[in-house]
Amino acid sequence: MYKIITSDLDETLLRQDGSISSANVAAIAAASKRGVKFVPNTGRSFLSIQPLLKTLNLYQRPNEYVVSYNGGVVVENQDNRVIVSNEMPYEEAAKAFAIMSEFDVDIHIYTLDHLFIYRPRADDRAYLQTRGVTFTEMTGAFDQFRNAQIMKVIVMNPDVMVRQQVYAAIKAAFTEINCTYSSGIYMEVNHAGVDKGRAILDLGDKLGIKADEIMAIGDNANDLGMLTKVGLPVSVANGIDDVKQVAKFVTPHDYERGVADAIETFIL
C-alpha cells in the first residue's frame, strides 16, 4: 500500500548521539528490497547526511531522494541533483535575520550548499558536532547573501522562553511566514507554505505517488507539516504530544527502533 516512507532524522531515526540502530537499518533495507522508497526528511542540509546515506545504502543512488531544509529542497541522491527548490526570498530572510539578532540566540543561515552561523554558541557547536555538521562563522553584513539561494534561517537557544519570544516577534512582523520548533533547541523559519509535507508531496507528484501511498514518521513540531498531509502519519514513542495527536500510529519504541516498528507493522 505504501510506496514512500519519509522519516525525520534527529530524535526519530537517529539516537541522541546521532547514530542509527541496527534495527532501523535492517528494517529500511528490507523495505527497500520490496520496492518502497525511503526518503530522509530533515531540517539539515543534504550534504551533512551523506554518511547516513552510505549506512542506508542510498548514497549516490539514482531514483532515491532526500528532503532537506524542512522542505526547502528535494535532491536526487545521485550527484545531489536538485529536484524541487523552495528557497526564501532574500528580503524575507534579511528581515527575519534582523529581528533574530535582537535576541540572545545564535543564528543559522542555510544556503543551498553551506551553513553559516552568526554568534555560534558553545552548546550549539557541541550538538552540531554529534551530527557531523560543519559550518562557517558568519562575519560581516547579511547582504553578503543577496545572491545566494537561502533555504532557511533559524535560531538556537536551549531556553524555551527565548525561542518563544523570537517566534512571536517573527510572526508579528510578517503577514505570512512558516515558523516551527525542532530538537528542543531550535526555532526555524522557512518561506510561507514551505514545509516537509509540501516537499514530499511535490516529490510524490513527480514519481506518480499519491499522498495516501506515503507513510511519514516524526517526533517534533517541524514534522507536523508532513504528518498532516500523508496517508499514514506515525509518531515515535518519544514524539511530542502535538505529534502523537495527529498520528494514526504511535510506535512502541523511541528513536532506538521506532522507525523499525512502523516498517515492520505496515510494510513487512
Determine contact, residues 246/36, Cβ cutoff 8 Å.
Answer: no
* Residue 91 grid cell: 528580503
Number of residues that make up the chain: 268
Q: How confident is the model at residue 137 (pLDDT cuts 50, 70, 90)?
A: very high
Sign of CA dihedral 183, 221, 180, 178: positive
Chain-wide mean pLDDT for the chain?
97
- At 221-268, the pLDDT tens digits run 999 999 999 999 999 999 999 999 999 999 999 999 999 999 999 999
Question: 102-136: per-residue pLDDT in tens?
Answer: 999 999 999 999 999 999 999 999 999 998 899 99
Per-residue pLDDT reduced to its tens digit, 183-210: 899 999 999 999 999 999 999 999 999 9
Instruction: Report percent pLDDT > 90 for the chain.
Output: 98
| Contact between residue 197 and residue 68 where contact means Cβ atoms under 8 Å apart | no
pLDDT of res. 203 = 97
Residue identified by cell 517573527 is 170
- Across 19-41, average pLDDT: 98
User: What whole-number distance in Å separates Cα of residue 7 and Cα of residue 260?
Assistant: 11
Pairing of strands 4-7, 214-218: parallel
Record the pTM. 0.89
The pLDDT of 158-167, averaged and rounded, is 98
User: Residue 251: what pLDDT?
Assistant: 98
Instruction: Look at residues 260, 144, 91 and name the one whose alpha carbon lies nearest to residue 251.
Output: 260
Query: Count of alpha carbons within 13 Å of 24, Cβ hemisphere only?
Result: 27
Strands 186-190 and 150-156, sheet pairing: antiparallel
pLDDT of residue 173: 98
Structure confidence at residue 57 (pLDDT): 97
pLDDT 10s digits, 168-190: 999 999 999 999 999 899 999 99
- List the domains of the chain with CATH numbers: 4-86+194-266 (3.40.50.1000), 90-190 (3.30.1240.10)
